[in-house]
Amino acid sequence: MIFFTKLHVWIIDYLHAMSLYGQLLIHRHPPEHYLGYIDSAKVPVLLIPGVNTKWHFLKRISDQISLAGHPVYVVKKLGYNRQAIPVSAQIVRDFLVDNDLQNVIILAHSKGGLIGKEVLLRHNQDRKVIKVIAIAAPFLGSKMAVNMPDKALAELSPTSSILQDHNSSLLVNKDIISIYGWYDNHVWPTEHSVLEGAANIKVETGGHHQILSNPKTKQVVLEEIANITQQVR
C-alpha cells in the first residue's frame, strides 16, 4: 500500500511541477507589488528557488508575503539556479550589498536552502540575513543525486564536499527553519531535511514541489515571518 501511495505522490508532484513551470510563461517579471506596497515596519524577504527553477515556484507563498507588507526580492542573476552553491551564495551576498538590505529573511526551496546556509556560514558577518526559511531542503543530502548525471545536482549528494563542510558547521543552524513533508520524492530519505539545532517543522503533505502550494506550508511561513518581524522590530 505504501508503494502505491508514494507512486501517487510522484505522479501528482510532477504534474504540479509542470504547472509551476507554466508560471514562467504567464509571469515574466515579479509583480509590481513585491516592491510596491511596502510596510516600513516589515522586514524584507529574499527568494532563492531550487535547482532548475526560478522564483515562480515560490510565487504562491511570496505573493501573500508581499500582500502582508513585506518587500520581496528576486535575485535574477541566479537564473535557473544551476551554479555551484558557493558561487550562488556570493551572488546573493552581492545582491544584499548592492541593494543595501538589512534584517533579511531568506525564503528558499530545495537547493536554495543550502545556498541560504552557505550565506549564513560565509557571508553574514554583518548579520544582514537574520533567518533562512527553507522548504524541502536536502540539508543532509539526497541519495537521489548520487545516481543523477547532472553536474548541477552533484553537490546535493550526501557525500559531497560542501555538504560535509556544512554538516560539520552547526552554529548557524539556529538561524534556520526547515519545513518538510511526510514524504519527499526528491530528498531521499525525507528525514535529510531535518537539521540539528534548527527549527524543524513537519507539514502533513507529500511531494517535493507540491509542498509549496500546501495551505499549511503557506500558513507556517507567514506565521514564522510575522514572529521574526516582531522580534526584530
As a whole number, mean pLDDT of residues 25-38 equals: 85
Overall pTM surpassing 0.85 (yes/no): yes
- 119: phi > 0 → left, psi -120 to 50 → alpha, else beta; which? alpha
The model's confidence at residue 148, banded by pLDDT at 50, 70 and 90, is confident
Which one is predicted more confidently, 44 or 24?
44
Per-residue pLDDT at 1 exceeds 70? no
**How far is 178 from 148, CA to CA, in rounded Å?**
24
Number of domains within the chain:
1
Whether 144 has a pLDDT exceeding 70, the answer reads yes
Question: Average pLDDT, stretch 160-176?
Answer: 96
Q: Is the peptide bond before 215 cis (omega within 30 degrees of 0)?
A: no
Enclosing domain of residue 156? 2-232
Side chain identity at residue 28, one-letter code: R
What pLDDT does 83 receive? Answer: 97
- Cα radius of gyration (the chain): 16
The mean pLDDT of 143-149, rounded to a whole number, is: 88
Q: Which residue has the cell 543595501?
A: 100
Question: Across the strands, what pairs with 107?
Answer: 47, 133
Q: Please count the residues of the chain.
A: 233
The residue with greater pLDDT, 224 or 7, is 224
User: H/E element holding 13?
Assistant: helix 2-26
Q: Shortest CA distance to 182 belongs to which of 207, 215, 210?
A: 207
Residues 46 and 75: beta-carbon distance below 8 Å = yes
Mean pLDDT to the nearest integer, 109-118: 98
> 4 pLDDT exceeds 70?
no
Identify the band that residue 102 occupies on the pLDDT scale cut at 50, 70 and 90: very high
Residue 6 has pLDDT above 90, yes or no: no
Task: Give me the DSSP letters along 60-73.
Answer: HHHHHHHHTT--EE
Judged against a pLDDT cut of 80, whether residue 233 lies above it is answered with no
Over the stretch 57-95, which tens digit does the pLDDT of each residue have? 999 999 999 999 999 999 999 999 999 999 999 999 999
Task: Tell whether the model's pLDDT for residue 113 goes beyond 90.
Answer: yes
Contact of 204 with 182, CB cutoff 8 Å? yes
Nearest alpha-carbon partner for 116 in 2, 94, 124: 124
pLDDT score of 136 more than 80: yes
Indicate the angle between helix axes 59-67 and 215-232, nearest 10 degrees: 40
What rounded mean pLDDT belongs to the chain? 94
CATH code of the domain covering residue 196: 3.40.50.1820
| β-pairing verdict for 104-109 and 72-74 | unpaired
